[in-house]
Amino acid sequence: MATFNNFATLSYSGGTSTSNTVTGEILSALSSTKTAVVDDYTAKDDVTYVITLLNSSNAPLTNVTIEDDLGGYLFDGTTVYPLTYTAGSARLYINGTLQPAPSVSAGPPLLISGITIPAGGNAIVIYEATVTAYAPLASESTITNTAEITADGLSSPVIVSEIINTEDRADLSISKSVCPSVVSENGVLTYTFVIENQGNTDAVATDNVVLTDTFSPILNPITVTFNGTPWTEDVEYTYDEATGLFTTIAGEITVPAATFTQASNGTWTVTPGTSVLTVSGVV
């Protein structure tokens, strides 16, 4: 929407006269919205965006072009992009009917062009973007993604934005090692379990993390520590000496959140939070 103001001046031999000022509005022929199908993200996620375009005029809108900034932001004087266009993902619907794919230049910025919207009609553009290493991942981080839409005959671009947020959650993985790898009968084996959290949220008691393992050969007796602190059977874990089944009690394993550091080139690195469980026993 744009406003205009003007007035008239009357000149005659005896002088001049100025009229009152009139004010009006020009409504844009094009209105638009931008929506992310899922409004949160994690590292390397694919994010699907939907841009709707409505032509309220009585003439077609031609040469409609969408310029998407892919969430670009300034870092140390350089623009970095937390999103990258997923090749081949753009789809165009006119009045609900799928059309041939529009012209796409991946950029950044992303350009989608060659769209004509009929009089009184609508268009829907759907495309995907992948989260890059420039995307912040710490808790409560966001990506603001803005698109500028132009068309022949429009007095000014239409701007639409969407904000997506990091998905705040724990993201756990586990590795297991044994020492020594060769042991004599009646010797002692130690299993070490390293649990890593690449998420931006602590894994806490209410997450009910449980580790289960069946030792073969069976260990008896066993000693257990968690992050260096001794554990007690039937308090933090259970163990069946007949079968070798070892199970931690739900909620006893906790793992701190990862930490995130932005490097000098703008990319983010993840240092996972870590907890260590050890089980030692006689073979």
pLDDT digits (tens, 9 = 90+) for 111-142: 999 999 999 999 999 999 999 999 999 999 99
Region of 114 (left: φ > 0; alpha: ψ -120 to 50; beta: rest) is: left
Q: What's the pLDDT band for 9 if we cut at 50, 70, 90?
A: confident
pLDDT reported for residue 14: 74
Whether 193 shows a pLDDT value over 60: the answer reads yes
Whether 2 shows a pLDDT value over 60: the answer reads no
pLDDT reported for residue 167: 95
pLDDT reported for residue 28: 61
Whether 26 shows a pLDDT value over 60: the answer reads no
Helices (H), 107-245: none
The C-alpha atoms of residue 260 and residue 139 are separated, in whole angstroms, by 10
The C-alpha atoms of residue 238 and residue 15 are separated, in whole angstroms, by 104
Torsional sign, CA 210, 216, 222, 224: negative
Whether 11 shows a pLDDT value over 90: the answer reads no
The C-alpha atoms of residue 34 and residue 32 are separated, in whole angstroms, by 7
Q: Of 120, 147, 137, 180, nearest to 40 (Cα)?
A: 137
**DSSP character string of 24-87:** EEE--SEEEEEEESSSEE-TT-EEEEEEEEEE-SSS-EEEEEEEE-TT-EEETTEEE-SEEE-T
The C-alpha atoms of residue 210 and residue 255 are separated, in whole angstroms, by 12
Write down all domains in the chain, each with its CATH number in brackets: 28-166 (2.60.40.740), 172-282 (no CATH)
